[in-house]
């Protein structure tokens, strides 16, 4: 009997709580269905800046708005620095400054709100904007790629940068003193074959509103295995006095040639000319200076082992 009596108070309490919850929910739904007004602050994001200008500042970074909507709409709306876009294609000029009239940006804000929300109050001040004029110019790219070649390998020319020129775009006061753009530093080691390496460009420090038309370039070079050849080439003497003949010691000088192995096989002394000018000033009367006047252009390097020859001059 006591157990039955104890159940009835519990049922009464549960029933009471259920009705209380239902009443609260009914009251809450009623309140959320009502129309309310509330304040919101919108962060302004400026878009569609004219191509010839860079936005340097604005008189407003946020705007206060009084909105009317149902409680449900306010409940689902984020008032924590909600962001709205201000389209600068509707920019005007009052003769001194650029501006967006208050009526224009109010209309833009309204279009970004839910259809059932209405603006009941908003700042009435125009938004004034400051711009920097944009300029652009081409700049040569300078590679900072460090290349370490494998043993007995060399490049057939300096590395090629593609593209070798980039466009820089920004305020005149930022770009007028810039003469070139460096790549970022990068190392390649033990290179034994042709390579193409993508390297990032480095924007000079302190350029807040300046941009490059690309972020990377390619650096490439052809690499070949080289060998050395010592080739004896006869010395030719020019500008001898009339009625004389000359004999040089030695009559030939060795050239140290570095090139591709197959290219070295095709070389002969006729591909080179060593010239001694008898009329040229000289420090020692018994020696003539020798210079290399002719060589194939596709060789990596050609060095004269000795740059002087002794001579004997005879009258005919």
Residue 50 — very low, low, confident or very high, per pLDDT cuts 50/70/90? Answer: confident
Residue 30 — very low, low, confident or very high, per pLDDT cuts 50/70/90? Answer: very low
| pLDDT score for 216 | 96
Question: Taking residues 201-211, what's their average pLDDT?
Answer: 88
The more confident residue out of 43 and 11 is: 43
- 214-248 pLDDT, tens digit per residue, is 999 999 999 988 899 999 999 999 988 888 888 98
> Domain map of the chain by residue range?
33-125, 134-221, 226-315
pLDDT > 70? residue 118: yes
pLDDT > 50? residue 28: no
Question: Taking residues 150-166, what's their average pLDDT?
Answer: 91
CATH number of the domain located at residue range(s) 33-125 in this protein: 2.170.120
The distance in angstroms from the start CA to the end CA of the chain is: 157
Q: What are phi and psi of 5, to 5 degrees?
A: -60, -35
What are 35's two structure tokens? 């129309």
Cα–Cα distances in angstroms (integers) from residue 77 to residues 53, 57, 74, 112, 118, in the given order: 35, 29, 5, 12, 13
Evaluated on CA atoms 303, 308, 309, 315, the torsion sign reads positive
| pLDDT score for 311 | 87
The more confident residue out of 132 and 282 is: 132
Name the fold adopted by 226-315. Answer: RNA Polymerase Alpha Subunit; Chain A, domain 2 (2.170.120)
CA atoms of 259 and 279, how far apart (whole Å): 34
- 257-303 pLDDT, tens digit per residue, is 998 888 899 999 999 999 999 888 777 778 899 999 999 988 888 99
pLDDT > 60? residue 119: yes
| pLDDT score for 180 | 94
CA atoms of 170 and 211, how far apart (whole Å): 6
Whole-structure pTM value = 0.54
Q: Do 134-221 and 226-315 share a fold?
A: yes
Instruction: Name the CATH superfamily, with its identifier, for domain 134-221.
Output: YbbR-like domain (2.170.120.40)
CA atoms of 103 and 57, how far apart (whole Å): 20
- 161-199 pLDDT, tens digit per residue, is 999 999 999 888 889 899 999 999 999 999 999 999 999
């Amino acid at each position: 009997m006591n157990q039955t009596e104890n159940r009835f108070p519990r049922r009464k309490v549960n029933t009471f709580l259920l009705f209380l919850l239902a009443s609260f929910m009914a009251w809450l739904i009623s309140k959320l269905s009502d129309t309310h007004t509330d304040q919101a602050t919108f962060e302004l994001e400026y878009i569609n800046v004219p191509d010839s200008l860079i936005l340097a500042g604005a008189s407003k970074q946020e705007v206060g708005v009084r909105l009317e909507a149902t409680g449900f709409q306010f409940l689902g709306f984020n008032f924590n620095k909600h962001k709205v876009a201000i389209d600068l294609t509707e920019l005007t000029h009052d003769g001194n400054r650029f501006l967006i009239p208050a009526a224009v940006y109010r209309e833009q804000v309204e279009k970004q709100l839910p259809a059932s929300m209405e603006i009941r109050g908003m700042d009435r001040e125009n938004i004034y904007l400051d711009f920097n004029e944009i300029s652009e110019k081409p700049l040569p790219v300078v590679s900072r790629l460090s290349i370490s070649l494998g043993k007995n390998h060399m490049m057939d020319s300096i590395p090629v940068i593609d593209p070798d020129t980039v466009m820089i775009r920004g305020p005149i006061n930022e770009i007028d003193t810039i003469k070139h753009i460096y790549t970022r530093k990068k190392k390649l080691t033990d290179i034994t074959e042709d390579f193409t390496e993508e390297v990032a460009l480095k924007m000079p420090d302190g350029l807040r509103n300046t941009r490059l038309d690309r972020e990377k370039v390619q650096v490439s070079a052809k690499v070949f295995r080289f060998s050395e050849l010592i080739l004896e080439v006869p010395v030719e003497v020019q500008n001898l006095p009339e009625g004389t003949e000359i004999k040089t010691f030695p009559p030939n000088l060795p050239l140290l040639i570095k090139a591709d192995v197959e290219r070295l096989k095709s070389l002969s002394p006729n591909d080179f000319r060593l010239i001694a000018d008898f009329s040229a000033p000289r420090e020692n009367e018994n020696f003539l200076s020798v210079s290399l006047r002719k060589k194939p252009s596709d060789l990596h390097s050609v060095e004269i082992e000795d740059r002087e020859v002794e001579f004997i001059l005879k009258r005919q």
